[in-house]
Amino acid sequence: MSEGATGLIEAGAGAQPQPGERRRGIDRVIMLLEALLKHRAPMRIGDIAKMINAPRSTTYEIVNSLLEAEMLENVGSEGYVYFGRAMHLFGWAYSHHNAHYRRILETLDRMAAETGETVQLCGLRGNKYVVLDCRDSPGPFRISSDVGVEVPIPWTASGRLLVGHMQETELKDFIPAADYELPDGRVIAPDEFFADVDLARRQGFSETSALADRFTWCMAAPIRDSHGAINTTLCFVLPVDTPEPRRNQLLELLRERARALSLAGS
Amino acid sequence: MSEGATGLIEAGAGAQPQPGERRRGIDRVIMLLEALLKHRAPMRIGDIAKMINAPRSTTYEIVNSLLEAEMLENVGSEGYVYFGRAMHLFGWAYSHHNAHYRRILETLDRMAAETGETVQLCGLRGNKYVVLDCRDSPGPFRISSDVGVEVPIPWTASGRLLVGHMQETELKDFIPAADYELPDGRVIAPDEFFADVDLARRQGFSETSALADRFTWCMAAPIRDSHGAINTTLCFVLPVDTPEPRRNQLLELLRERARALSLAGS
DNA sequence: TTAGTTTGTCCGATATTCCAGACAACATGT
DNA sequence: ACATGTTGTCTGGAATATCGGACAAACTAA
C-alpha cells in the first residue's frame, strides 16, 4: 500500500462502484480538489462527478458549498468551475507564513533575473515529484506551467535528491514499478537509479540530461530544513546543448544558493 | 441576510452552542480553513476546536483527514498545524489558470520594479475588502504581509471602486454599519461614503489619504473583466507626504496599467 | 418532429458520520 | 503530594448527510 498524499483519488479510477458505497463529504471534497488539480482546467460538474466517481446529486451539493465559500468559482458562463479566490489566499498564506519560504522565493526571482534561465523549486507530494514554483526563462522556449503536475521520481534530477534519506529497500516499496518507464518508452534499471540516488547524496547535487525529455539538461541542489532533511530542491532547467563551462558556472551558483537557503548550519 | 463568503465562520462567535447541534464535515472544513486564514499563524488543534466551536473529537478527525491530503501540515514539533503544500498548489492553479491573472501579476512585478513603491492587487471577499497580492516597496517601511486579511470596505480606496456597480440602497444592506468606524474611532458618514463611491465611478479611480492609517496615501484604479465589471483593482500605497507631482505621475501610471489590463475593450 | 443526452433540483430512506463523554498520559502549578 | 489543565484516542448511539432515483427543462442530432 503506497498510500501517498493522493491516495484517495486513486479510488476514482479502478474502484468498482460497489453498490451502497457511501463516502464522507470531506473525502469527496479532497477527491474533488485533487481531480481539479490533476485536470488543470475548469470542469463541468457532471464531469467532476464521473471523475471522482460520486453521485451527481452529491457532487452538486458539495460544489455549491465550496462555491459559497469561494473555494471554487464559476468560470465562463456555462457550468464550468475551478479553484476560487479563497484557495489563492490559503495558498498564499502557506507560502508566506515562514520567512524561510519567502527567502526561497526571493532567491528564485534573483536567480532567474541574474541568469535568464528557467529556475524551479521542487518537492515531493506523496510518492511523486512536483514543481512547487518556477521562474521561466524569458526565451521563447519552455512554457512549463507545470507547477503542481505529478511526475514520477526517477524521471527527475531533483527526485534523486529528495529520496536521499531512504534505504534501498524503502525505495523499492516507495516508488511504483511503472515509474521507472520514461515517457519515450525507455526503462531505467532500478539499480542504476539507486546508484544515482547514492551518488546524488554523496556529491550534494544531481544532474540529468535528456531524461524525461530529450531537450533539457537539469541540475538540482538540496535545500535542507533545520533538521538537515531535504524537503525541497532548487533546480535549473537548461537546453541540453548548453556549453559545459556555462553549465559548471550555473551549477556552482545553484549549489551556493541552495546552501545559503539551508537551515542546517544556522 | 448578508450571507457573504465567510458566513459560516460567524457562527463561531455568537451562536449559542445549541445542545443537539450537529454540522456537516464539509462545513467544518470550511470554517476551519477560514479560521486558520484569519488567525494567520499555525494553531493547536484544541484551539482550532474552540475557535470554530466544534467538538474536540470531531476536530481531530477532520484535521487528520486534511493532514493526510496535505491540505494542512504540521508546523514545529508540538501539535501546531497550518496550511499545507496542497493548498499552495491549488492556489497556484487558481492564479495561473487564465492568462489574464498572469498578466496582472506580471504588471504588478513591473510596476513595483519601475517605481519602487508598494503595489497591491485588491478585490472583494464577501462584504469585505482583501488584498489579493502585493509587491512591497523595498524601503524599510511597511511590512504589509496583509494579503488575505479582511478589511471593511469603507476604509479603502479600492473598496470605493469595487462596489461601484451597486445602488445606494443595495450598499446600505451590503455594508455592515460597524464598518464605517475607522480604527482610530472616527466614523465615516454613510452618505459621504456613497458620494465617494459615486465620484470614484465617475472619475474611474479613487484616492484616500490617512484614512485607515494616518501615514498612507492610497490610490486605486479598476481592472475590468470582459463584461466591464470591476472584479479587482490595482493600487499604490504611498507615504502620505509623497509630493503631489510624483503622486500625479504615479496615478497616471496606475490608471494606464489598469486600463491595459482591462478586458472590456479588447 | 422524435429520440437521446445532459443539467440542475428535489425527495424520502437508511447507512453512517458526527457528537458527547470517558480515558490514559502528560504538563502544569502550588 | 495534590488539584487542574492539557492532548490524543476510542467508544456507542442517534441525528442526519449521502445516496438513488425521479423530474422538468434545455440541448443535440437526426
Number of Cβ within 10 Å of residue A2's Cβ equals: 11
Q: Is A115 helix (H, G, I), strand (E, B) or coil?
A: helix
- Sequence-distant (6+) residues with CB within 8 A of B90 are A33, A36, A37, A83, A87, A90, A91
Dist. CA A97–CA A92, nearest whole Å: 8
Q: Phi, psi at residue B169, to the nearest 5°?
A: -65, -40
Mean pLDDT of A182-208: 94
Look at A33 and B86 and tell me if their CB atoms are within 8 Å. yes
Sheet arrangement for strand A43-44: A43-44, A80-83, A72-75
The answer to whether residue A2 scores a pLDDT higher than 90 is no
Centroid of chain to Cα A230: 15
Task: Please report residues of A whose CB lies closer than 8 A to that of B34.
Answer: 69, 86
Bases of strand D lying below 7 A from some protein CB: 6-11, 15-22
Dist. CA B254–CA B157, nearest whole Å: 13
Q: Which residue has the higher pLDDT, B225 or B33?
A: B33
Contact indicator for B101, B95 with CB cutoff of 8 Å: yes
Domains along chain A with CATH numbers = 7-84 (1.10.10.10), 98-261 (3.30.450.40)
Contact indicator for B103, A100 with CB cutoff of 8 Å: no
Q: Give one DSSP letter per residue of A48-85, joined into a string.
A: HHHHHT--HHHHHHHHHHHHHTTSEEEETTTTEEEE-H
Nearest Cα neighbor of B70 from A20, A231, A73 is A231
Look at A147 and B96 and tell me if their CB atoms are within 8 Å. yes
Residue of least CA–C1' distance to C11: A57
Q: Does A116 touch chain B (CB under 8 A)?
A: no
Number of Cβ within 10 Å of residue B104's Cβ equals: 21
Nearest Cα neighbor of B81 from B110, B51, B107, B53 is B51
Look at B91 and A96 and tell me if their CB atoms are within 8 Å. no
pLDDT in tens, A207-262: 999 898 888 999 999 999 878 889 999 999 999 999 999 999 999 999 999 999 98
- Judge if the beta carbon of A102 is closer than 7 A to nucleic acid strand D: no
Nearest Cα neighbor of B44 from B36, B15, A96, B58 is B36
Mean pLDDT of B139-150: 72
Bases of strand C lying below 7 A from some protein CB: 6-11, 15-22
Task: Please report residues of B whose CB lies closer than 8 A to that of A97.
Answer: 40-42, 75, 82-83
Q: Which three cell numbers stand for residue A15?
A: 474502484
Measured in angstroms, what separates residue A53's CA from nucleotide D22's C1'?
21
Percent of chain A whose predicted confidence (pLDDT) is above 90:
73
The answer to whether residue B74 scores a pLDDT higher than 50 is yes
The answer to whether residue A70 scores a pLDDT higher than 60 is yes
Dist. CA A141–CA A116, nearest whole Å: 12
Tell me which residue has cell 542504476.
A192
Interface test with B, best of A9, A24, A26 (most B CBs within 10 A): A26
Which residues is B222 bridged to in the sheet? B233
How many A×B Cβ pairs under 8 Å?
155
Look at A65 and B26 and tell me if their CB atoms are within 8 Å. yes
Long-range CB contacts (< 8 A, 24+ apart) of B96-102?
Answer: B96/A145, B96/A147, B97/A40, B97/A41, B97/A42, B97/A75, B97/A82, B97/A83, B100/B225, B100/B261, B100/B263
Name the A residues in 50-109 with CB < 8 Å from any B CB. Answer: 62, 65-66, 68-71, 75, 82-97
Mean pLDDT of B125-142: 83
Mean pLDDT of B167-192: 93
The answer to whether residue B119 scores a pLDDT higher than 70 is yes
Tell me which residue has cell 445602488.
B167
Name the average pLDDT for chain B. Answer: 88
Predicted local distance difference test score (pLDDT) of residue B191: 94
- Judge if the beta carbon of B18 is closer than 7 A to nucleic acid strand C: no
Rounded (5°) CA angle B56-B58-B63: 95
Q: Which residue has the higher pLDDT, B201 or A6?
A: B201
The answer to whether residue B189 scores a pLDDT higher than 70 is yes
pLDDT band (50, 70, 90) for residue B142: low
Mean pLDDT of A50-72: 94
- Judge if the beta carbon of A56 is closer than 7 A to nucleic acid strand D: yes
- Judge if the beta carbon of A76 is closer than 7 A to nucleic acid strand C: no
Task: Please report residues of B whose CB lies closer than 8 A to that of A151.
Answer: none
Distance from CA of B57 to the nearest CA of A (A): 15
For residue A27, give the chain B residue with the closest CA. Answer: B65
